[in-house]
Amino acid sequence: MAEVKLEVKNLTKRFGELVAVDNVSFEVREGEFFSLLGPSGCGKTTTLRCIAGLEIPDEGKIFIKGRDVTMLPPQQRGISLVFQEFAVFPHMSVYDNLAFGLKIRGLPKDEIRRKVLTIAESLHLTDYLGVKAGKLGLSEQQRTALGRSIAVEPEVLLLDEPLTLVDAKVKESMRRELRRLQKELNITILYVTHDQLEAMMMSDRIAVMNAGRILQVGSPMEIYENPKNVFVAKFIGSPTINIVEAKLEKEDDMLKIVLNDVKLDIEKKLPKEIGEKYAGKNILIGIRPEDLLIFKEKSSPYDIKCSVDMVELTGNKMELHLKLGEMSIRALSTIRFDIEESSEIYLRIHPEKTCIFDRETEERIA
Amino acid sequence: MTYLEIKNISKKYGEKIALKNISIDVSRGEIFAIAGPPGAGKTSLLKIIAGLIPPDEGSIYLEGKDITNIPPSAREVGMFFEIPPVYPDRTGFENIAFPLRLQKLPEDEIRRKVYEVADMLGIRHLLNRTPRTYSGGEYQRVALARVLVRSPKLLLLDEPLRNLDAKIQEMMRSWFKKLQRELGITVIYATHDPFEGMAISDRMAVLLNGVIKQLGKPFEVYFNPKTLDVAEYVSIPAINVFEGSIDLTDDTLIIKIDDIDISKKVREKPSFLIKKKVLVGIRPEDVIVSKDPKAGKIKGKISLIQIFGSDILLTIDVHGTIIRAIAKKGLVMQEGEQIYLGFNEEHIYLFDLETKNAIYV
Amino acid sequence: MSIITRAIKYIFIGFCLLWVLIPVAWIVCLAFKPYPEWRVAYFLPKDPTLSNFVILFEPKQIIGMMGATAIVDPVTRPFINSIIVVGFSTIIAVFAGFFTAYGASRYNTPGPFSLFFTLLTRMLPPATFVTPIMVYYSNLKLLDTHLGLILLYAAVTVTYGIWILKGFIDNVPREWEEAALLEGATHSQVIFKVTLPLVKSGLVVAGLFIFLLNWAELLFALVLTNVNAVTLPVHISKYVGAVGQLYGPQAALGIISSLIPLIIGYIIQKHLVAAFTFGMVR
């Protein structure tokens, strides 16, 4: 079992009336890529800043490799921080940039050289070592900034939305590169982002945050398949999960969900006690667009009729905006030419692929 | 009649060519996307259409009228900038009313127009508040209201969703497309994200280094890229590109990459291709992955597994060559495992080694 | 941080504070001390009085050391002169600074017209050109006039206006001005209706800074004024030196002349805060 590199316990930070971070606790193990994921203003950056030492929390403690660093200044914590702007020293060569932190620590010259060359190779910067950083392209500059943070071998590497300002194509390749590098060098990373696609792509585990609180922690697959509540279900996955209201009915001793005259058999899914508790009541169903099947004709009693509002092409898939009575539903389908705007199609939902939430609390019940 | 005609627009900044011979026809009520990486020239082109920058060559016609030399305020073109003007110390109402006040319209007409636009965009509740209290999406909508309040003939959008959270971008994109359908306003939409361009537009142009490399419906651009750089640009995750050569046997084209043979059925025998060296492009989604050795001839080792939306992105090492593939969720794999690859031969793209133009078979 | 380090830090800070504040406290107390207490060693006056302030407003003859005398006018005239001269020159410097900064920010001006050269006025010690100015003013009949001082003060301090405002103008995204052009504004409307309102805080900061500089300006005022346009610093100087015994009134004068900048600073502090947070772009 890998050791715990970073432990955050009951962290709370207030700014006047606003509670930016509300009793946040989690731990990051050695070699793990851990993401704090949430919308702007959810407290993820403030949490990161407390861990970095740029803010002092009001309550709670932070431990790095077992050491209580809560009140220590950033230089004494054993962390490195990479910002959105990927700062490099433009007037220094790439070599000097990478060596910077090591020189400050007073390491012997040959050791510095050894470390810098190793990192440059991992980051494909060996050819640029003599070049002034200011003259490099964006991609090389980012890698230099990253290299500088890694060179000092921090216990934990902190990254604050580093890819937000980068364009779509470069983002995709950097997400692969960063993950590869992290695994190769076994770096422990705490990563902050608002982009769930990004967190899912790179992380070993994700903590989903909102309004200062952590709502769920788990591996990407766990969070995707077993969201604890509506917020997490909606935040993870693109296009956003469909959440519709339906009625849980008891018919002939079988529990069914009623959605626009179509009854879905979910007996197997729901444990008996929960079924009893919610029978006759309205519940929320979550179904992901990619789990909906589209048909031109009704071929089973479970197919629901919808009209096509809009079609958006995304690469080799089609995003369909459908209307079911008053409700808007999104479906993801492969490219087909028989579906046009303003036509009608039939949807099939597999009961096993649905999530069921309590309508009031929005917590998951099945 | 073509609603907007952009003819042979060129622009240089000193020695650097920003735009070269750009020609686009846009129909009324269309959303036309201009997609290209940062620095391709999208903003320059939009500013030229708006009249903020003069072109070196070429002309622009709006509804048949030559507007090339007309000052920006008289063109009836609205532009939504990447950092849109929303003055922080004035209310939403004052911000939206600003352009109307410049025109010195009577107060009650200003009021009427501002409320009309606010209702259209669903932002009545923001009129009394200042921008400091707005969320990201609200800010964009107020900025959009400010542009629409003058009822422009043409709407230019320069990466309008750039500064928004990913989730909100998704929502705003669909919202905007619906709005455009309702209003019927003609839109030119610039973006660095090829998928955003494809999702939102009726037709799109791929702009690379100041030149339009391809123009057409999103479907065409994606499935029939004319050049290698277009194919590379519109593919996320990045398309796999290899050097290969061609052999022909009867009706099958055999593409040789290193020691891998891919066969592709062809209708006619393009004899000029035999033994010719080509560049082969295969998208990750067209690489078929299986654990069954019989399913694919190519053997590789999985070096990285990443979740990509609702699918899985694999980085595979085949004798030192990196191949990216997309697999469906449900296939249980581990990093370091052996995997077998096949290709969807319908979507294998061939490009001339020198010109990088697509070769059709 | 250990207790000792912390103690040393606080002691050091305390010492610095006392170093700065004690003289101020002394002067404030001195202003209210009657004549017998002018040379005492304690702070608070035992018999506080306003007589020092009253004296300032009466014309009088002052007998200095070695029998030298000086006639000192009431402080009202110099006070008003200062307000007029410094007020107008500040306004001119700020607006001239704004327009120059606008040009520098939005347009590339290389060579002899570059921004660097606006610093030249500040590189020469003022004493070097006070004599030539005096000669010019004599010919132009600007000696001892309000206008003369206003023009000179504005010319010398406009540099600060330019440098402060350029930073603020740079912070207004160029796209906002371009958007205004599309919204139907002419170029001058863009400057006055878009850029100027958005750099309000900058105008205030520059204004305060320039005001303070000019308010305390002595050299030019001393040389270029005589009776009509005498400013407050010149007036104060008459109490010093040969007439150095009038400590009480001097202290009172110090307080009065600090009053205006203090009041102005208090009124505009909201803008100062806004200026330093640059809350412009979302």
Report DSSP letters for A79-111, one per residue: EEEE-TT----TTSBHHHHHHHHHHHTT--HHH
How many residues make up chain C in this entry?
Answer: 282
Tracing tokens 């750099």 back to the chain, one arrives at: C199
Contact A215, A209 (CB under 8 A): yes
Instruction: Give the C-alpha separation, A74 to B172, whole Å.
Output: 39
Q: Are residues B215 and B284 in the same domain?
A: no
Question: Model confidence at A272, in pLDDT bands (50, 70, 90)?
Answer: confident
> B232, B250, B283: which is the final residue of a domain?
B232
Q: Express each pLDDT in C40-90 by its tens digit.
A: 888 888 888 888 888 788 767 665 555 556 667 788 888 899 999 999 999
Q: Are residues B290 and B268 in the same domain?
A: yes
Q: Are residues A155 and A247 in the same domain?
A: no
Mean pLDDT of A61-88: 89
Instruction: Identify the weakest region by mean pLDDT among B224-238, B310-324, C234-248.
Output: C234-248
Q: Are residues A231 and A266 in the same domain?
A: no
Question: Model confidence at B59, in pLDDT bands (50, 70, 90)?
Answer: very high
Q: Are residues A304 and A330 in the same domain?
A: yes
- Any idea what the Cα angle at residue B73 is, between residues B67 and B75, rounded to 5°? 30
Question: Model confidence at C282, in pLDDT bands (50, 70, 90)?
Answer: very low
Domain-embedded: residue A34: yes
Q: Are residues A56 and A107 in the same domain?
A: yes
Considering only alpha carbons, which residue of chain C is nearest residue B98?
A: C183
Residue in C175, C184, C186 closest to B85 by CB: C175
Q: Which is it for the CA torsion C113, C115, C120, C126, positive or negative?
A: positive
Mean pLDDT of C153-170: 91
Q: Are residues A281 and A320 in the same domain?
A: yes
Question: Model confidence at B269, in pLDDT bands (50, 70, 90)?
Answer: low
Q: Are residues B199 and B257 in the same domain?
A: no
Residue A205: per-residue pLDDT: 97
Q: Are residues A168 and A268 in the same domain?
A: no
B120: helix, coil or strand?
A: helix
- Name the nearest CA neighbour of A241 among A249, A250, A231: A231
Q: Are residues B257 and B118 in the same domain?
A: no
| Total domains, chain A | 2
Q: Which of A45-59, B234-248, C33-47, C106-120 has the highest mean pLDDT?
A: A45-59
Q: Express each pLDDT in A292-320 by its tens digit.
A: 988 888 887 778 888 999 999 888 889 99
Provide the terminal-to-terminal Cα distance of chain B, rounded to the nearest Å.
Answer: 36
> What CATH number has the domain bearing residue B183?
3.40.50.300
Q: Are residues B206 and B248 in the same domain?
A: no
> B210, B232, B254: which is the final residue of a domain?
B232
Provide the terminal-to-terminal Cα distance of chain A, rounded to the nearest Å.
Answer: 31
Contact C30, C227 (CB under 8 A): no
Tell me what percent of chain C is helix, strand and coil, each rounded to the nearest 5.
Answer: 75, 5, 25
Q: Express each pLDDT in A208-227 by its tens digit.
A: 999 999 999 999 999 999 99
Q: Look at A149 and A279; give whichever has higher pLDDT.
A: A149
Q: Look at A283 and B197; give whichever has higher pLDDT.
A: B197
Residue C281: per-residue pLDDT: 40
Instruction: Tell me whether residues B102 and C189 touch, CB distance under 8 A.
Output: yes
Q: Does B2 have pLDDT greater than 90?
A: no
Considering only alpha carbons, which residue of chain B is nearest residue C190?
A: B102
Instruction: Tell me whether residues B199 and A167 touch, CB distance under 8 A.
Output: no
Q: Are residues A175 and A194 in the same domain?
A: yes
> What CATH number has the domain bearing residue A280?
2.40.50.140
Contact A271, A316 (CB under 8 A): no
Mean pLDDT of B52-76: 91
Mean pLDDT of chain C: 84
Q: Express each pLDDT in C163-204 by its tens digit.
A: 899 889 998 888 899 889 888 888 899 999 899 988 988 898
Q: Express each pLDDT in A147-183 by its tens digit.
A: 888 888 899 999 999 888 888 888 898 899 899 999 9
Q: Does B37 have pLDDT greater than 90?
A: yes
Domain-embedded: residue A352: yes
| Total domains, chain B | 2
Query: What residues contact residue B320 under an 8 Å CB cut-off, 6+ apart?
Result: none
Tracing tokens 């082969």 back to the chain, one arrives at: B280
> What CATH number has the domain bearing residue B294?
2.40.50.140
> A206, A235, A264: which is the final residue of a domain?
A235
- Residues in chain B whose beta carbon is closer than 8 A to a beta carbon of chain C? 47, 50-52, 71-73, 75, 77-79, 81-88, 98-99, 102-103, 131-132, 134, 139, 146, 150, 163
Q: Which domains does chain C have, with CATH numbers?
A: 3-49 (no CATH), 76-277 (1.10.3720.10)
Q: Are residues A162 and A33 in the same domain?
A: yes
Domain encompassing residue A224: 4-235
Q: Are residues B168 and B288 in the same domain?
A: no
Mean pLDDT of chain A: 88
Residue A265: per-residue pLDDT: 65
Instruction: Give the C-alpha separation, B76 to B319, whole Å.
Output: 59
Asked if the C-beta of C176 comes within 8 angstroms of chain B's C-beta atoms, the answer is: yes
Considering only alpha carbons, which residue of chain A is nearest residue B201?
A: A312
Domain-embedded: residue A229: yes
Instruction: Give the C-alpha separation, A10 to B119, whole Å.
Output: 45
Percentage of chain B modeled with pLDDT above 70: 94
Asked if the C-beta of C197 comes within 8 angstroms of chain B's C-beta atoms, the answer is: yes
Q: Are residues B226 and B274 in the same domain?
A: no
Q: Are residues A154 and A203 in the same domain?
A: yes
Question: Model confidence at C241, in pLDDT bands (50, 70, 90)?
Answer: low
Chains that touch A (3 or more CB pairs under 8 A): B
C-alpha distances (whole Å) from C148 to each of B314, C139, C212 are: 79, 12, 19
Q: Are residues B48 and B114 in the same domain?
A: yes
Q: Are residues B250 and B347 in the same domain?
A: yes
Instruction: Tell me whether residues A313 and B199 touch, CB distance under 8 A.
Output: yes
Domain-embedded: residue A364: no
Mean pLDDT of C114-123: 77
Question: Model confidence at A245, in pLDDT bands (50, 70, 90)?
Answer: confident
Chains that touch B (3 or more CB pairs under 8 A): A, C
Residue A8: per-residue pLDDT: 95
Mean pLDDT of B138-143: 89
Q: Does B268 have pLDDT greater than 80?
A: no
User: Which pair of structure tokens corresponds to residue B345?
Assistant: 């031969």
Q: Are residues B46 and B144 in the same domain?
A: yes
Q: Are residues A285 and A334 in the same domain?
A: yes
Q: Are residues A37 and A115 in the same domain?
A: yes
Report DSSP letters for B69-109, one per residue: TS-GGGTTEEEE-SS----TTS-HHHHHHHHHHHTT--HHH
Domain-embedded: residue A363: no
Q: What dihedral angle (degrees, nearest 10) is formed by the CA atoms of B118, B124, B130, B133?
A: -120
Percentage of chain A modeled with pLDDT above 90: 45
> A204, A235, A266: which is the final residue of a domain?
A235
For residue C189, list chain B residues with Cβ-Cβ distance below 8 A: 102
Mutation test of the interface with chain B: which of A165, A202, A314, A329, choosing the one with the most B Cβ atoms within 10 A? A314
A59: helix, coil or strand?
A: strand
For residue B83, list chain C residues with Cβ-Cβ distance below 8 A: 173, 175-176, 281
Domain encompassing residue B119: 4-232
> A172, A204, A235: which is the final residue of a domain?
A235
Q: Are residues A223 and A261 in the same domain?
A: no
> What CATH number has the domain bearing residue A153?
3.40.50.300
Q: Express each pLDDT in B84-131 by its tens digit.
A: 889 988 899 999 999 999 888 899 999 999 999 999 888 999 999 988
Q: Express each pLDDT in A126-139 by its tens digit.
A: 888 888 888 888 77
Q: Does B302 have pLDDT greater than 90?
A: yes
Q: Which of A205-209, C213-217, C250-254 has the highest mean pLDDT?
A: A205-209
Residue C280: per-residue pLDDT: 45
Instruction: Give the C-alpha separation, C161 to C267, whole Å.
Output: 20
Domain-embedded: residue A161: yes
B21: left (phi over 0), alpha (psi -120 to 50) or beta: left
Q: Does C112 have pLDDT greater than 80?
A: no
> How is residue B235 annotated by DSSP?
-
Q: Are residues B248 and B227 in the same domain?
A: no
> B213, B232, B251: which is the final residue of a domain?
B232
Element (H, E) at C262: helix C247-267
Mean pLDDT of A96-124: 89
Instruction: Tell me whether residues A316 and B165 touch, CB distance under 8 A.
Output: no
Q: Are residues B183 and B283 in the same domain?
A: no
For residue A238, list chain B residues with Cβ-Cβ distance below 8 A: 166, 170, 309
> How many other CB atoms are found less than 10 A from the CB of residue A297?
8
